[in-house]
Structure 1
Amino acid sequence: MSLSASAVACAWVTALPQAAFAQETAGAAAEQAGEAGTAGDEAIVVTGSRLAGGFKAPTPVTVLGEDRITALAATNLGDVMNRLPAFRMATAPTTALSSTGSGGNLGARYLDLRGLGASRTLLLVDGKRFVPSSILGSVDANLIPALLVKRVEIVTGGASAAYGSDAVAGVVNIILDSKLDGFRAQVQAGTSQIGDANTRQASLAAGTGFAGGRGHIVVAGEWSDDGAAGGCYTRDWCSAEWGIFQNTAFRTNGLPASIWTPGVRAATMTQTGIINSPNALRGITFNPDGSVRATPFQYGATPGVETMIGGEGYGSNWRLAVPYLKIPVQRYSLFANLEYDVTDSIKAVVTASYGQSEAQNRGAALFERALTINAANPFIPAPLKAQLAANNVSSFVFGRLGSFILGSQDIDPTAARGKATTFRIASGLQGSLGGSWRWDAYYQYGASDYRVNSYNIKNLANFPLALDAVMGPNGPMCRSTLTNPTNGCVPLNLFGSGNFSQAAFNYAFGSPWQTQKLRQHVAAVNIRGNLVDLWAGPLAVAAGLEYRRDTTKTDADAIGQALGWQYGNGARYSGRIITKEGYVEGLLPLAKDMSFAKLIELNAAARVTDYSTSGTVTTWKAGLVYEPIDGIRFRVTRSRDIRAPNAQELFNPGGATPGNVVDRRTNISTIARVRTGGNPNLVPEIAKTWTAGVVLTPGGEGILKPLRLSVDWFDISLNGAISTISAQTIVDRCQLQNATDYCSLITQGPDNVITEVRAFSLNLNQLIARGVDAELAYRVQLGSKSSVDFNILGTYNKDLITVDSVGAINRAGQTGMQNLGATGIPRWSVTSTTTIQTGPVKTTIENRYIPKGIYDPTLIGPEDAGYANTLTNSISTNRVSGRFYTNLGISVAVESGARTQFELYGFVGNLFNQDPPISPGSTSTNPALFDTIGRSFQAGVRVRH
Structure 2
Amino acid sequence: MNNKRFNHHGNSLSALLMAVSVTGIASAQDAPEVKPDDNKVVITGSRLASGGYLAPTPVTVVDQQELKLTGTQNLEVLLSDTPQFTANQLSSPTANTVQAGQPSGTSTLNLRNLGPTRNLVLVNGRRFAITGPDFTTDINTIPSALVKRIETVTGGSSAVYGSDAISGVVNFIMRDNFEGVEVNTQRTWDQPTKTPTKSLDVTMGGNFANNKGNAVISLNYMDREGMTRGDRGDWALPSMGDGCVTAASWSSTRPGTPQAVPAGQTCLSAGGRPGLVYSGSATVPFGRIGNLPVVGSSASNPALNAALIAAGLQGMGSLGAVFDQTGKAIRPYTAADAYDLGPISYLVTPQKRWMGNAFSHYDFNEHHTGYLELHYSNNTANVQIAPTSASGNFLVNTNNPYLSAPMQEVLRQLDLRETGSTRITTGTQSLTTTPGDGLAVLNLNRRLPDIGTRAATTEHSVFRTALGLRGDIPDVSRSFLSDLKYDMYYTYARTIESQNQSGSISLSRFQNAILSQGGAAPVLNPFGQNITEAGKNAISIFSNSTIRAEQQVASGNITGKLAELPAGAVDFSAGLERRRASSSYSPDAFLSSGDVSGWNAALATSGSSTVKEFYGETRVPLLADQPFAKRLSVSGAFRRSDYDVESVGKVWTSSIGTEWAPAESLTFRAQKQKSIRAPNVGELFGGQGTNGPTATDPCSNRTPAAQTAAVRALCVATGVPANLVFDQAVQPSNFINQVVGGNPNLTAEKSHTTTFGAVFSPSFVKGLNLSLDYYKITLDDAISTLGGGGIQSVLDLCYNTIQNANSVYCKAINRDPITGQIAAPTYVMTTAANIGGISTKGYDLAGHYGFRTDWGLMGDSRWNVDTNWTYVKELTFTPIQDLPNIKNQCVGSWGATCGQPVPHWKGTARLSMNTGKLLLSARARYTGGVTVDTYVVPQRQGGTPPALNSLTNPTIKAYTYLDLTAGYEFSKSISLTAGVRNVFDKDPPILGSSQLPANNTIAASYDPLGRSMFVTLNLKL
TM-score (norm 2): 0.81
CA distance in 2, matches of 1:785, 1:471: 88
Out of 330, 337, 341, the residue aligned to residue 313 of structure 1 is: 337
Residue pairs, 1:303-702, within 5 angstroms: 308=335, 312-314=336-338, 318-367=340-389, 374=396, 376=398, 378-382=400-404, 384-385=406-407, 388=410, 400=445, 402=447, 410-434=450-474, 436-467=483-514, 469-470=515-516, 472-473=518-519, 475-477=520-522, 491-497=523-529, 499-566=530-597, 567-613=599-645, 614-659=648-693, 661-667=695-701, 668=728, 670=731, 672-700=736-764
User: Helix, strand or coil: the match of 2:140?
Assistant: helix
Deviation digits for residues 223-251 of structure 1 (CA, Å, limit 9, x no counterpart)? 1011111225633222253213699xxxx
CA distance in 2, matches of 1:234, 1:148: 34
> How far is 1:931 from its partner?
1.2
CA distance in 2, matches of 1:685, 1:508: 45
Out of 284, 298, 308, the residue aligned to residue 270 of structure 1 is: 284
Q: Which amino acid aligns with 2:521?
A: P
Deviation digits for residues 393-449 of structure 1 (CA, Å, limit 9, x no counterpart)? 87585654536xxxx6x1323221111111111111111114521111111111111
Aligned residues: 889
Out of 981, 997, 1011, the residue aligned to residue 909 of structure 1 is: 981
Change (3 A) 1:762 1:573: same
User: Helix, strand or coil: the match of 1:648?
Assistant: helix
Match of 2:873 in 1: 798
1:708 to 2:751 alignment? no
> How far is 1:377 from its partner?
5.0
User: Helix, strand or coil: the match of 1:237?
Assistant: coil
Contact between 2:390 and 2:507, CA under 8 Å: does it hold in 1?
no
Change (3 A) 1:658 1:136: same
Match of 1:817 in 2: 895
CA distance in 2, matches of 1:391, 1:461: 25
CA distance in 2, matches of 1:117, 1:389: 50
Match of 2:232 in 1: 234
Match of 2:44 in 1: 47
Change (3 A) 1:729 1:246: farther
User: Helix, strand or coil: the match of 1:57?
Assistant: coil
CA distance in 1, matches of 2:14, 2:737: 48
1:25 to 2:27 alignment? yes
> How far is 1:600 from its partner?
0.7
Deviation digits for residues 819-862 of structure 1 (CA, Å, limit 9, x no counterpart)? x8744522221122221222212122121122221212577799
CA distance in 2, matches of 1:144, 1:268: 43
Q: Which amino acid aligns with 2:235?
A: W
CA distance in 1, matches of 2:443, 2:813: 27
CA distance in 2, matches of 1:216, 1:706: 34
Q: Which amino acid aligns with 2:128?
A: F
Deviates further, 857-866 or 191-200: 857-866
Out of 99, 113, 116, the residue aligned to residue 115 of structure 1 is: 113
Match of 1:205 in 2: 203
Contact between 2:569 and 2:620, CA under 8 Å: does it hold in 1?
yes
Deviates further, 754-763 or 257-266: 257-266
CA distance in 2, matches of 1:354, 1:677: 31
Contact between 2:132 and 2:583, CA under 8 Å: does it hold in 1?
no
Q: Which amino acid aligns with 1:689?
A: T
Contact between 1:903 and 1:942, CA under 8 Å: does it hold in 2?
yes
User: Helix, strand or coil: the match of 2:57?
Assistant: coil
Contact between 1:512 and 1:569, CA under 8 Å: does it hold in 2?
no
Contact between 2:392 and 2:444, CA under 8 Å: does it hold in 1?
yes
Q: Which amino acid aligns with 1:586?
A: T
CA distance in 1, matches of 2:85, 2:333: 47
Q: Which amino acid aligns with 1:496?
A: G
CA distance in 2, matches of 1:210, 1:592: 44
CA distance in 2, matches of 1:379, 1:821: 51
User: Helix, strand or coil: the match of 1:464?
Assistant: helix
- Structure 1 alignment gaps of length 5 or more: 300-307, 478-490
Deviates further, 752-761 or 677-686: 752-761
Q: Which amino acid aligns with 2:216?
A: V
User: Helix, strand or coil: the match of 2:869?
Assistant: strand
> How far is 1:369 from its partner?
6.0
Q: Which amino acid aligns with 1:842?
A: L
CA distance in 1, matches of 2:24, 2:43: 15
Match of 1:838 in 2: 915
Match of 1:483 in 2: none
Change (3 A) 1:788 1:812: farther
- Structure 2 alignment gaps of length 5 or more: 246-257, 268-273, 295-307, 417-439, 475-481, 702-727
Change (3 A) 1:235 1:335: same
> How far is 1:883 from its partner?
1.9
User: Helix, strand or coil: the match of 2:211?
Assistant: coil
Q: Which amino acid aligns with 1:418?
A: T
CA RMSD of aligned residues (A): 3.3
Contact between 1:860 and 1:878, CA under 8 Å: does it hold in 2?
no
Q: Which amino acid aligns with 1:790?
A: V
Match of 1:487 in 2: none
> How far is 1:944 from its partner?
2.5
CA distance in 1, matches of 2:892, 2:446: 33
Deviates further, 880-889 or 205-214: 880-889
CA distance in 1, matches of 2:690, 2:699: 24
1:748 to 2:815 alignment? yes
Q: Which amino acid aligns with 2:924?
A: N
Out of 68, 71, 74, the residue aligned to residue 70 of structure 1 is: 68
CA distance in 1, matches of 2:775, 2:359: 37
Q: Which amino acid aligns with 2:910?
A: T
Change (3 A) 1:615 1:768: same
Deviates further, 332-341 or 801-810: 801-810
Deviation digits for residues 678-725 of structure 1 (CA, Å, limit 9, x no counterpart)? 11010000100100111111024xxx2222111111110111011233
CA distance in 2, matches of 1:21, 1:604: 33
User: Helix, strand or coil: the match of 2:875?
Assistant: strand
Deviates further, 326-335 or 8-17: 8-17
User: Helix, strand or coil: the match of 1:82?
Assistant: helix
Contact between 1:222 and 1:333, CA under 8 Å: does it hold in 2?
yes
Change (3 A) 1:174 1:797: same
> How far is 1:776 from its partner?
2.9
CA distance in 1, matches of 2:700, 2:143: 53
Match of 1:919 in 2: 991
> How far is 1:25 from its partner?
3.4
Change (3 A) 1:569 1:24: farther
CA distance in 2, matches of 1:540, 1:546: 20
CA distance in 1, matches of 2:736, 2:88: 28
Contact between 1:695 and 1:710, CA under 8 Å: does it hold in 2?
yes
1:187 to 2:185 alignment? yes
User: Helix, strand or coil: the match of 2:902?
Assistant: coil
Match of 2:970 in 1: 894
Deviation digits for residues 181-214 of structure 1 (CA, Å, limit 9, x no counterpart)? 2222111112211235320000011211111111
Contact between 1:88 and 1:115, CA under 8 Å: does it hold in 2?
yes
Change (3 A) 1:864 1:100: closer
Match of 2:906 in 1: 829
Change (3 A) 1:908 1:868: closer
> How far is 1:943 from its partner?
1.5
Match of 1:781 in 2: 852
CA distance in 2, matches of 1:413, 1:840: 51
Q: Which amino acid aligns with 2:159?
A: A
Contact between 1:346 and 1:430, CA under 8 Å: does it hold in 2?
yes
Match of 1:481 in 2: none
CA distance in 2, matches of 1:860, 1:621: 34
Deviates further, 321-330 or 253-262: 253-262
